Amino acid sequence: MPLKIRINYSPNFNQKKRLRKNIRFIIIHYTGMKSEKAAIDRLTNIQSEVSSHYFIGKNGNITLLVPELYVAWHAGKSKWKGQSLLNKNSIGIEITNPGHRFGYKNFTYKQINSTIILIRYLLNKYRISKISNFLTTFWIILIAILKVSFRLALIGGIIKIFITWCFIFCCSACVITIFTRSNISF
């Protein structure tokens, strides 16, 4: 399935371009807003000082908010494995969902599918190939792996299992997981 991307630029990003080689992480969030419209309005409002590179709607539509070579403001004052301020080295993806505060809903098949397609595209484009960092506990990961059905492995492979797990077990409107750059080809 080809990547179809809409454009709705956010004013919330650093004006200086970064080098392509500096992009080492993909960070997945869910919006935690009452509605999809409220989430887009916040991500594109200059006063909110928050954005992401991509937004995935309930219907699976992918919207580009900030061009990839610019730093979007989605990870805040973050730190992970010696890296600080992850915005400067990451691509942020926001997936619409009201979250636990506003009546958490299951992610739609179209959202999951679009997320998988987008992540595969980004992994290939930026040579991000090692899935090694999780911002969850070992036990949550173990339980998630045990609950994912073997059928998903046959349908879509390990990435589909991983993304499905992320959607099932995301526990806040923060980072679910991080994919890191390595020399291994994907």
Measured CA to CA, the distance from residue 6 to residue 54 in angstroms comes to 10
Active site residue 94: yes
Q: How many helices (H) and strands (E) does the chain have?
A: 4, 9
58: phi then psi, degrees, rounded to nearest 5? -55, -35
Residue pair 43/50 in contact (Cβ under 8 Å)? The answer is yes
Contacts of 41 (CB under 8 A, 6+ apart): none
The answer to whether 181 touches 127, Cβ cutoff 8 Å, is yes
Amino acid at position 19, single letter: L
Integer angstrom CA distances of residue 168 from 35, 48, 56, 99, 130 = 19, 28, 16, 12, 22
φ, ψ of residue 180 in degrees (nearest 5): -115, 155
Annotated catalytic residue, options 36, 49, 68, 94: 94
**Catalytic site residues?**
94
